[in-house]
């Protein structure tokens, strides 16, 4: 029964294990340690583990001082997954990407479960936070628990609680973002609410793990579809000679029934480009075709090509070809003022430019060196911006509107400036084009 587990959390005797020390796992560890619970962090990256144990932060918006304080407060990182038995609660925060066929890839979850399965014991709670299709907790994780001779809801507690992180947003942090929790049984839910209620201000319970899994998909499908809509409207308004940013800003003054979404060069991050396709894949199992979701995905995936086509047109108007042109990409992280490169549309634009024969460079102080990525490869470092450097490129493409760019200097010195973020809305100049 959950009473013993709840008591260990309440009296701060419970040790929490976090499996996956990335953009989700590290902020979660910071918050849990703040509340007095010790944390053992697990990661397969030995360099990441060494960095954290030395008190250094691998994430731009989290300071070294925060990591050092977490270490002093009871955090340890390890690559030894056999130590999972030392933990009363285990929280999985590993990637769930798509494979090359745009189908769910649960290999990181499965690999994690394979590593911790021998260490599962009575009295533990296991929570999955990675985004996935409805049914994953029951159909993928539960068999591991049962194979260990444990029964969810009786001597083991199995829950799903989708991660909610918005890096770079100063208005919310791990503590203040409400947390959804679904349990495999009522006893599992009781234990899950006790754990998350210890370090999250507001915890929202739902009827099952499947419901909680669907909540996460709905949140990001909602964003993907609305971004797809405004990206499509951008194509229409561009053709009609109107400014989509002006139109969205005006519509946003309506105090009810409208939420402003803005267009861009595509969609990025670990959620919006990926999560909707977890549902489209699962829906096919039920004989359903999610046309609306897939259409939004097609529109958003096509935006990098639209950006390149606008650049080609603008160069042609100046008697230049994209092939051989020197092009500077401004901002390659997926959103403003973060260092997160996952699924960044900037990278897709850079790849298309390279495919067209352009000589591509980038500037992004958040990403000093282009990182190693599973599918994208550039041997580049960030270019420091000066008037002379900007003027030396045939075109400058604003892809991510970081706050540290000197936009006036860029506008005044670029031979050709392509604005995909509406940063120069309302401005007109011979060298300025929009995409």
Residues serving a catalytic function are 271
CA–CA gap between residue 235 and residue 240 (Å, rounded): 9
CA–CA gap between residue 145 and residue 94 (Å, rounded): 19
Closest to 27 in 3D by CA, of 15, 39, 13, 12 = 39
- Return the H-helix or E-strand segment holding 397: strand 395-398
Q: Which residues pair with 180 in a beta bridge?
A: 204
Determine whether 383 is exposed, middle or buried from the number of CB atoms within 10 Å of its CB (0-12, 13-18, 19+): middle
How many CB atoms are located within 10 Å of the residue 201 CB? 11
- Return the H-helix or E-strand segment holding 309: helix 303-317
Closest to 189 in 3D by CA, of 175, 174, 208, 173 = 208
Q: Which two tokens stand for residue 363?
A: 């500037």
Residues with Cβ within 8 Å of residue 39, at least 6 apart in sequence: 15, 16, 17, 18, 29, 32, 33, 70, 74, 75, 76
Q: Which two tokens stand for residue 26?
A: 């590290």
**Alpha-helical runs (H) found in 102-208:** 107-116, 136, 142-147, 186-199
Residues with Cβ within 8 Å of residue 434, at least 6 apart in sequence: 238, 243, 310, 418, 419, 420, 422, 424
- Return the H-helix or E-strand segment holding 28: helix 25-34
Please provide the DSSP assignment of 228-295 as one string. Answer: HHHHHHHHHHHHTT--HHHHHHHHTT-SSS-------S---SSSTTTHHHHHHHHHHHTT---HHHHH
- CA distances (Å), 249 to each of 102, 115, 167, in order? 34, 50, 24
Taking the alpha carbons of 365, 369, 372, 374 in that order, is the dihedral positive or negative? positive
Q: Is 330 helix (H, G, I), strand (E, B) or coil?
A: strand
- CA distances (Å), 93 to each of 56, 128, 162, in order? 20, 7, 9
366 torsion bin: left (phi>0), alpha (psi -120 to 50), beta (else) = alpha
């Amino acid at each position: 029964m959950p009473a013993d587990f709840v008591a260990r959390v309440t009296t701060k005797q419970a040790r929490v294990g976090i499996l996956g020390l990335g953009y989700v796992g590290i902020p979660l560890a910071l918050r849990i340690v703040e509340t007095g619970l010790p944390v053992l962090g697990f990661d397969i990256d030995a360099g990441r583990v060494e960095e954290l144990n030395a008190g250094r932060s691998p994430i731009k918006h989290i300071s070294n001082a925060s990591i050092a304080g977490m270490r002093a407060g009871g955090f340890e990182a390890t690559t030894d997954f056999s130590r999972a038995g030392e933990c009363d609660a285990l929280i999985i925060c590993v990637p769930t990407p798509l494979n090359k066929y745009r189908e769910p890839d649960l290999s990181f979850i499965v690999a994690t479960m394979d590593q911790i399965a021998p260490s599962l014991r009575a009295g533990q709670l296991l929570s999955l936070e990675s985004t996935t299709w409805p049914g994953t907790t029951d159909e993928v994780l539960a068999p591991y628990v049962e194979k260990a001779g444990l029964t969810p809801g009786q001597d083991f507690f199995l829950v799903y609680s989708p991660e909610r992180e918005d890096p770079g947003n100063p208005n919310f942090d791990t503590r203040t973002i409400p947390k959804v929790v679904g349990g495999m049984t009522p006893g599992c839910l009781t234990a899950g609410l006790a754990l998350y209620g210890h370090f999250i201000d507001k915890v929202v319970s739902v009827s099952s793990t499947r419901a909680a899994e669907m909540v996460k998909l709905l949140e990001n499908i909602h964003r993907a579809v609305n971004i797809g809509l405004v990206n499509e409207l951008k194509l229409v308004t561009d053709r009609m000679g109107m400014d989509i940013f002006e139109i969205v800003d005006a519509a946003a003054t309506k105090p009810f029934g409208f939420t402003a979404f803005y267009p861009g060069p595509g969609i990025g991050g670990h959620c919006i480009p990926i999560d909707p396709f977890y549902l489209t894949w699962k829906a096919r199992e039920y004989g359903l075709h999610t046309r609306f979701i897939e259409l939004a995905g097609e529109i958003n995936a096509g935006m990098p090509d639209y950006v390149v086509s606008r650049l080609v047109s603008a160069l042609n108007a100046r008697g230049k070809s994209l092939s051989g042109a020197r092009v500077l990409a401004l901002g390659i992280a997926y959103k403003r003022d973060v260092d997160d490169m996952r699924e960044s549309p900037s990278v897709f634009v850079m790849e298309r430019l390279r495919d067209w024969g352009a000589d591509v460079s980038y500037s992004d102080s958040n990403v000093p060196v282009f990182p190693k990525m599973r599918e994208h490869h550039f041997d580049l470092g960030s270019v420091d911006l000066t008037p002379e450097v900007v003027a030396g490129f045939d075109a400058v493409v604003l892809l991510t509107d970081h706050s540290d760019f000197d936009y006036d200097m860029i506008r005044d010195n670029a031979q050709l400036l392509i604005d995909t973020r509406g940063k120069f809305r309302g401005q007109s100049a011979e060298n300025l084009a929009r995409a």
